[in-house]
Each structure stands twice: as C-alpha cells, then as structure tokens.
Amino acid sequence: MGIPFEKIPTPSYVVDEDLLRKNLERLQYVEQKAGCHILLAQKAFSMYSTFPLIAKYLSGVTSSSLFEARLGYEEMGKEVHIYAPAYKEEEFEEIMTYCDHIVFNSLQQWGRYKEKVANNVKKIGCGLRINPEYSEITTDLYNPCFPGSRFGEKSSQLSREALEGLEGLHFHTLCEQNADALIHTLERVEEKFGKYLYDMKWLNMGGGHHITREDYEVEALIKVIQHIKKKYDLEIYLEPGEAVALNTGYLVATVLDTFENDKLLGILDASAACHMPDVLEMPYRPFIIGSGKEGEYPYTYRLGGATCLAGDVIGDYSFKKPLQPGDKLVFCDMAHYTMVKNNTFNGVNLPSILLYSEETGFRLIKEFAYEDFKSRL
C-alpha cells in the first residue's frame, strides 16, 4: 500500500486520483470502441473537485434532481441529463436551463411538461423510462422491476401515439452487474419495445454496469452496444455511477477504544450509520487493509461507530496484533455512495474529503465543522 495514511486526520475519505484516472481510461475505451456516450451518474459520486478530470474522459453527467443537474452543469460543463420519478412544477424551468436530455418516468409526466419543453428556446431531447419487467437483481431495495415498482412505463401502456414527440427510451435495471445481465435485459427490451426503437434517436441503458471491475466483460458490452446501435440506428448512452469511482477511495478511521463484552469490541471515529450507510442498507462488509475474516488472525474484533445506534456495527474483523486506541484502519472502496449519502446523526461530524495522487500527495478538499451540523437543523 503506497499511500501514507498515517499522516492524515480522521475520519477522512481519500480518493486516489491515479486510480480514478485508470477507471476513466477504461470507460473511455468503451465509449470510443463502441461509439457510445458514457455519463457519470452523480447520485453515486458527486465529488466535484474531480469533475475536471472526469470531463476529459466522459461525455457528461446524469442527474436525479435539480441540484445534481445544476452541480453537473456548473462543475463539469458537458452534457447534462436528468431522470427523476417525478418533476416539481416550480423547479422545471430551472431544470430546462441546465439539461440537454430530460427523461420522464411516466406518460402523464411527459404530458404535463411537453408544452414547456416545446416552448423552450434551447432544444431539449426528451425520453421516457421504460420498465422491461426483467431484472436479475435479487435484493428488492435495488430492484427497479419488482412487481409494483414505481419506475417506468410497461410496454402494455405504450403506443406509437403516446410516444409522439419523444426521441429516446431509457431503462435502468442493473446493479453491480456484468455484461451478461445487460445482454439478457436487451433481449426483453427488444422483444417488448423493439418496434418503437426504430423511431427513436437514442437509447439510454442506465447504470449498474460494473465496467471497471476486473472480471467485467468489456468486449461483450462493446459488441452488444454496436449491435443495438446499428440495428435501430440509435445513439447509445450508459450512465454508470459506481463503475466510475469503483475501488478508487478509502475511509480512514482511528480506533478510539477497545473493550470486551463476550467479544472483543473496537469503537472507531467512523460510523456505519453516518459515514458508510450502505454497510447497513445493502448490507455488506467493507474490506479493511491488513485485516482478515473473523478468526483468520488471532485477534477478532467487532467494529462499530461512536454513535448511540446499537446496530452501528461495521462487522467482525481479525488482526495479527491487538488493536490499540490511536491505531488507524483503512476501509476500501469508499468513494461511491458514501459522501453522497452520509449524515450527521448524533451530531457526529462528517469525514474530511481528500484527494491523493502519487505526484502531488494529499490535498485537503473539504473539512466540516459544527456549523455544517447546525445549519441543516
């Protein structure tokens, strides 16, 4: 591990710019070879100090809200797309000033806003989210196709007349998946929506493509994009979030105390509930550098945060030596879905945000204080 984590205050998120660039190079390879457009889904990663770097490789951003659209517009300055389950009347004018593409979740939403879009000076491409009723995601929390899902229109609701004026279709049904899941999904999309695709200008295949994961089948992805693009004469968009920042960040924490209650316990200045909420929501167990599974090394600890939530438990980890107050622990893969989701529950401060590269060392991007906690309440 080359990064000298001992030197920084904790808790801190550290994003490694060199690793981020490596991910971006892989994504750009897909863009160029497949002839598609890749957008950063800001929902996963909105650390805008990296947007100038990301802008060198990707086509722009996608957004889930007015604020994300504005951030992408101001900080990246390339294509801005948006999809939200519903838009607010009082925000729509401003959304139009930032966005190149607007994707509607329902035909009713499209009906409500189509006049506004038509009368807008700047031309905006509009699309509809479709629900292919097919997903290989097994956790309902992340499955946009479970029965009764609020995401997208099913093919039974559509007709040529209903789609009049729309120039694109959008689906998002993947989560941390390989190209095979996309290929299966596209079979359903073609079956159910293929007849409409010939009239469209673009197809947005959403996020959830784990393109930067080591075992991801990039060539299979490129092949299926080229096939769809050619068959229906479409522009293709992908909007991964996680894949942009996958394995590029860390959360560095300090051990505050250890004690025993049936098990050895370690209390950290980083919290699952406040600083890595997906550990509890997903749930999953993040890797700590130098640690083993429960029982793998002599000293197993149950690690948790310094909040009053009984379930603020990160997981069970073993170490070669006993933990001591002051020891630093480095959690891996902490760039995405962390800074964008964290909170100050219990008045616990937010981690600082740092950028690191081998050439420049650490750069402090942001630090938080009492005022950040108070100002939201």
Ligand X SMILES: *Cc1c(COP(=O)(O)O)cnc(C)c1O
Using CB under 6 A, list all residues that contact ligand X: 41, 43-44, 62, 83, 172, 175, 206-208, 239-243
| Min dist. Cβ of residue 142 to ligand X (A) | 8
HSE-CB at 264 with a 13 A cutoff on CA atoms is 16
Structure tokens at 166: 């729309």
Q: Report the C-alpha gap between 368 and 296 in whole angstroms.
A: 37
Contact 168, 198 (CB under 8 A): no
What are all long-range contacts of 93-96, with beta carbons under 8 Å and residues at least 24 apart?
Answer: 94/66, 94/70, 95/66, 95/69, 96/120, 96/122, 96/124
| Min dist. Cβ of residue 85 to ligand X (A) | 9
Q: Amino acid letter at 212? A: T
According to DSSP, the residues that pair with 86 across neighbouring strands are none
Contact 278, 337 (CB under 8 A): yes
Residue that is written with structure tokens 């905006």 in the block: 124
| Min dist. Cβ of residue 215 to ligand X (A) | 16
Our CB check for ligand X shows the closer of 27 and 274 to be 27
Our CB check for ligand X shows the closer of 46 and 307 to be 46
| Min dist. Cβ of residue 318 to ligand X (A) | 31
| Min dist. Cβ of residue 167 to ligand X (A) | 18
| Min dist. Cβ of residue 217 to ligand X (A) | 16
Contact 210, 218 (CB under 8 A): no
Our CB check for ligand X shows the closer of 8 and 334 to be 334
| Min dist. Cβ of residue 340 to ligand X (A) | 10
| Min dist. Cβ of residue 271 to ligand X (A) | 22
Contact 15, 47 (CB under 8 A): yes
Indicate the residue whose CB is closest to ligand X.
Answer: 207
| Min dist. Cβ of residue 28 to ligand X (A) | 17
Our CB check for ligand X shows the closer of 22 and 302 to be 22
Q: Report the C-alpha gap between 375 and 377 in whole angstroms.
A: 6
* Cα separation values, 132 from 31, 148, 163, 280, 347, Å: 24, 13, 16, 29, 43
Q: Find the DSSP H helices in 217-288.
A: 218-232, 242-245, 272-275, 278-281
Contact 246, 212 (CB under 8 A): yes
* Cα separation values, 216 from 133, 197, 208, 220, Å: 24, 27, 12, 9
Our CB check for ligand X shows the closer of 26 and 43 to be 43
| Min dist. Cβ of residue 292 to ligand X (A) | 29
Our CB check for ligand X shows the closer of 246 and 288 to be 246
> Of 342, 328, 323, 316, which is closest to residue 263 (Cα–Cα)?
316
Residues across the chain: 377
Paired sense of beta strands 299-305 and 263-268, if any: parallel
